[in-house]
Structure 1
Amino acid sequence: MQAWLTAIGIPWSSAMLKPALYKLIQLHKPQAEYVCDKLAAERGFRVIRLPPYHCVFNPIELIWAWVKREVGRRNKTYKIGDVKTLVLETMEAVPQDLWPNSCRHCDEDVDKAWLAEGLQREHVASIVISLSDNESSSESEDDDSE
């Protein structure tokens, strides 16, 4: 940490501990530049990154939290085999309305986040990225079968 700060000409004190050095590094480290951000900006768009595995924007994380909570509540033996059985049973018992409710909850949180960024759902275009040169899904299916 000290060597990096010295190499880029940022003064630091030998009395500084790692947390203070880390804060100093965070202040001076260059921001990552991504090709997709540049391409989007050239076309008048801005990339908005959502945190992965974060329950606020990912409904499956809410479902998983429910499963873990139920397994924890029902777990009496704390043996790995019993926990595995409980997980499988609990996953089969996820209430039918939990998934649409989780999706609705995440959609509301996404809308709030967009508003905080000065955006609204109708102003954000959906983007579909095709991973093949073929426009037809039937051609892709034929390729898969070969």
Structure 2
Amino acid sequence: MISKFQEKQREKDCEFNQKRDFLRVVLDFLAPTSQSRKNEIRECLTLNDISFEQYHTKVELVCLVKRNTTEPVYEADELLKQNGHEALRLSPYHCDLNAIDLVWSLAKRKVATKNITLPAEDLEKLIKESFESITPQKWKKMTDHVIRIENKYIE
């Protein structure tokens, strides 16, 4: 069930998520957080028929929102589910478990060593060259490294 508040927030939330992570397009709304104004939190609670007292602090109101909010549903997840698949996520707090972060770090290092006040056109070329220089063998080596780290965490 989508409330009026949720409808109003949906567009803003989708835009925010697309900026943060283009794969995470939210079908449902993102609930107000401690960063939201107290009146916005109250409006959300009221529109969703969740009772609260006017004297409740912002922290208490956010707790009420959290208790009454389900996990967001992402468009990509729904598409995968419709086709018999399930999305697996990398931990947001363990970049050491993400081979792409290692590749990105390597590419940035290559650009940084050669970039001494280059014009934008040359910089773009340098970025492309740095990614093209990462061979499948280097990528596999980084993936193997991540697997070793995963195994250490599992032990």
When normalised by structure 1's length, the TM-score is 0.49
Higher relative contact order (CA 8 A, sep 6+): 2
Structure showing greater radius of gyration is 1
